[in-house]
């Protein structure tokens, strides 16, 4: 009888220990799920490509299009890597705001179409295009915050830019080395759409498309460039990752 009583006590103590261990674990899992779905902020990064507007869609007088008259390159040579960091904050279950800072830079080699050096070698240049946008946006989530979150948004971008041409140039019968450049800041609209999904309690990943549109003036007398405008518009195709808190 004593042996049976001891066995019963051991079973009871073992069961009690299991309850003590399992109840907090279950409660913690529920808290984690709630905190994940009720995050208020997120910080993260985007990485992908920027695709400037094509030749036929660029603003009249665009410096890139004007250079195509003399230099051998293509507008789509300026397709390049785009990256940014961003902070997202919840406004309501269906709205959120965002602020991002990005960077794009591309260097493209070119040569004159109709001229060569006296030794037959190409007359070469290096064309560089940089855009550093600061973007503010508001996003609408049609199904609200939850597991999978599609969204669309609109915002404004403050685009700091620089264009430069470095190399050898032709003036009549003379060939000389020079650098021509222009820079400035322009403001324009940004439209975006994307989708994201959680991969853990505090992480999410997704994809996003952005379209930005802006132009800037170039002083041809001051810079020596042959185009009096530069088109800053184009598409971003991005991979996104955020940590929620």
Give per-residue pLDDT as tens, 128-142.
Answer: 999 999 999 999 999
Q: Where are the alpha helices (DSSP H) in the chain?
A: 2-37, 63-67, 220-223
Per-residue pLDDT band for 243 (boundaries 50, 70, 90) equals very high
Tokens of 170: 């032709």
In order of 38, 176, 181, 213, the CA distances from 129 in angstroms are: 41, 22, 10, 16
Question: What pLDDT sits at residue 37?
Answer: 54
Q: Tell me how far apart the alpha carbons of residues 245 and 243 are, in angstroms, rounded to a whole number.
A: 7
Q: Tell me how far apart the alpha carbons of residues 38 and 42 are, in angstroms, rounded to a whole number.
A: 11
pLDDT reading at 22 higher than 80: no
Per-residue pLDDT band for 33 (boundaries 50, 70, 90) equals very low
* 160: exposed, middle or buried (Cβ count in 10 Å: 0-12, 13-18, 19+): middle
Q: What is the CA radius of gyration of the chain?
A: 29
Q: What are 142-190's pLDDT values in tens digits?
A: 999 988 999 999 999 999 999 999 999 999 889 999 999 999 999 999 9
Q: Tell me how far apart the alpha carbons of residues 35 and 241 are, in angstroms, rounded to a whole number.
A: 18
Fold of 40-244: Porin (2.40.160)
């Amino acid at each position: 009888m004593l042996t049976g009583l001891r066995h019963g006590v051991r079973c009871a103590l073992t069961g009690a220990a299991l309850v003590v261990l399992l109840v907090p674990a279950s409660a913690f899992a529920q808290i984690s799920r709630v905190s994940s779905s009720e995050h208020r902020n997120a910080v993260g990064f985007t990485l992908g490509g920027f695709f400037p507007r094509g030749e036929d869609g660029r603003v009249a007088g665009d410096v890139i299009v004007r250079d195509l008259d003399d230099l051998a390159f293509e507008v789509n040579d300026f397709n390049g890597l785009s990256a940014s960091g961003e902070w997202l904050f919840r406004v309501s279950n269906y709205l959120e705001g965002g602020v991002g800072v990005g960077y794009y830079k591309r260097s493209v080699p070119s040569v004159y179409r109709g001229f060569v050096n006296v030794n037959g070698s190409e007359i070469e240049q290096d064309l560089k295009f940089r855009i550093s946008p600061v973007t503010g946006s508001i996003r609408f989530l049609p199904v609200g915050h939850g597991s999978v979150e599609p969204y669309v948004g609109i915002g404004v971008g403050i685009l700091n830019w620089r264009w430069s041409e470095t190399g050898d140039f032709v003036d009549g019968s003379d060939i000389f080395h020079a650098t021509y450049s222009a820079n400035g800041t322009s403001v324009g609209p940004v439209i975006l759409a994307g989708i994201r999904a959680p991969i853990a309690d505090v992480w999410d990943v997704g994809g996003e498309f952005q379209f930005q549109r802006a132009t800037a003036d170039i002083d041809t007398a001051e810079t020596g460039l042959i185009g009096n405008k530069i088109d800053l518009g184009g598409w971003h195709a991005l991979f996104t990752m955020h940590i929620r808190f």
